[in-house]
Structure 1
Amino acid sequence: MTASPGAETLARLAALLDRQDILDALTRFSRGMDRFDRELFLSAFHSDATIAAGDFVGGPVELFDWSRAMHEAGQIATQHNLLNLTVDVDGDTAHTELYYLFAARNRDESNWIAGGRYLDRLTRRDGLWRIMLRTTVIEWSGMVPTMPIPFADVPGIHGNGKPSRSAEDPSYRRPLINLREPNIPA
């Protein structure tokens, strides 16, 4: 007979589920921005959230519109990479510190990177964790020498789909399947 989990184990499991739900919300922000997926992006925030990012201070709808216009004008691709995460949960409020690495391929073919931290206050409403306040701490920035994108000259390299800042990106395909022919390079 298997023993039931104790109160301490159940509390740890609840804390782990909260942490995962919080990480999922933070990830929706990044993926939504990089794929220009408005619905996904907005699902990371409560509608009455406030965000302070660069010279922008406002709500999530305005942030998406401002960010998309800025990224479309300046870059052909962006990646908001999420790194170290600390989470401090107190009831239905959580504070997080999330390190990020931003990388972009600019329209002039240069490459820009920046690093910093997202400081967030999230709240749980109706069982859902979402960002209520975000402030961005930018700690460094620089340009990376431009080099050819690896394998760009391989015939059929995009047979499984070309990268896209839309729902046309192969990451949205369900089920994900391989459309390329077998090939073992010599």
Structure 2
Amino acid sequence: MTTSLNTDRNARLETLLDRQDILDTLTRFSRGMDRFDRALFLSAFHTDATIAAGDFVGGPADLYDWASAMHANGQYATHHNLLNLTVDIDGDTAHTELYYLFVGRNRDDSNWIAGGRYIDRLERRADEWRIALRTNAIEWSGMVPTMPLPFADVADIHLNGTPSRDTDDPSYRRPLTNNREPNIPG
């Protein structure tokens, strides 16, 4: 009985590790796009992957060039938020459905929001999960009224780093440190 329980537990642990590797892969896509980090973005895809997103159908390098130009010209900031994830693993192939919420602060200071699902086939090659095929199912979109950014008037708000769409963003800092003075608003 103990051997059976250990085998089952080991199989479950392997599945959990695969699921985490798959989630990390999907997250690299989003972070790579939002930070304009080409290497990170491309690390989510096999080089021979096919992606169908909007009117784009092609490979990962061309997708990055097309999407980053579209976002750079259209928005000051983008957030590709990842939500519900289902994963169906069969050996070295996995099929996923990942709900997303996209938000962009447009250059005309409007805010665009859209939701949908990334439907992917991932393959494990050389012991690494990456996207082999992606379909982007956009299901809704709209505009959100613009409001002033909160705390814009705080003098030292950017001492820990200014949000940016590149590797100068504070999220890349190692180690992350605090450069602001203690302050508890009254």
TM-score category, normalised to shorter length: over 0.9
Post-superposition shift, 1:80?
Answer: 0.1
Alignment of 1:77-116 (within 5 A): 77-116=77-116
Letter of the structure 2 residue corresponding to residue 63 of structure 1: L
Q: Could you tell me which amino acid in structure 1 is paired with residue 31 of structure 2? A: R
1:173 aligns with 2:173: yes
> Percent of pairs identical after alignment?
76
Corresponding residue of 2:21: 21
Which residue in 1 is equivalent to 2:35? 35
Task: Give the Å deviation of 1:92.
Answer: 0.1
Match of 2:54 in 1: 54
CA distance in 1, matches of 2:170, 2:6: 44
Shift of the alpha carbon at 1:131?
Answer: 0.1
Cα displacement (A) at 1:103? 0.1
- Residue by residue over 1:81-107, the C-alpha shift from the partner in whole angstroms, topping out at 9 and shown as x without a partner, is 000000000000000000000000000
3-state SS of 1:23 partner: helix
List gaps (5 residues or longer) in structure 1: none
* Matching residue's letter, 1:116: G
The offset of 1:160, in angstroms, is: 0.4
Instruction: Letter of the 1:47 partner, please give it.
Output: T
AA aligned to 2:185 is: P
3-state SS of 2:171 partner: helix
**1:73-130: per-residue Cα shift (whole Å, max 9, x none)?**
1000000000000000000000000000000000000000000000000000010000
Q: How many pairs align?
A: 184
The CA distance in 1 between the partners of 2:57 and 2:152, in whole Å, is 39
**Matched residue of 2:114: which SS?**
strand
| Counterpart in the other structure of 2:65 | 65
The aligned counterpart of 2:151 is 151
CA distance in 1 between counterparts of 2:94 and 2:103 reads 27
Query: How far apart in 2 are the matches of 1:39 and 1:180?
Result: 32
Tell me how large the CA RMSD over aligned residues is.
Answer: 1.0
Structure 2 letter corresponding to 1:97: E
Q: TM-score, normalised by structure 1?
A: 0.97
The one-letter code sitting in structure 1 at the alignment partner of 2:98 is L
Runs of 4+ in structure 1 deviating by more than 2 angstroms, as ranges, are none
Matched to 1:26, the amino acid is: L
Counterparts of 1:55 and 1:181 in 2: how far apart (Å)? 48
What is the Cα deviation at residue 37 of structure 1?
Answer: 0.2
Who is 1:7 aligned against?
7
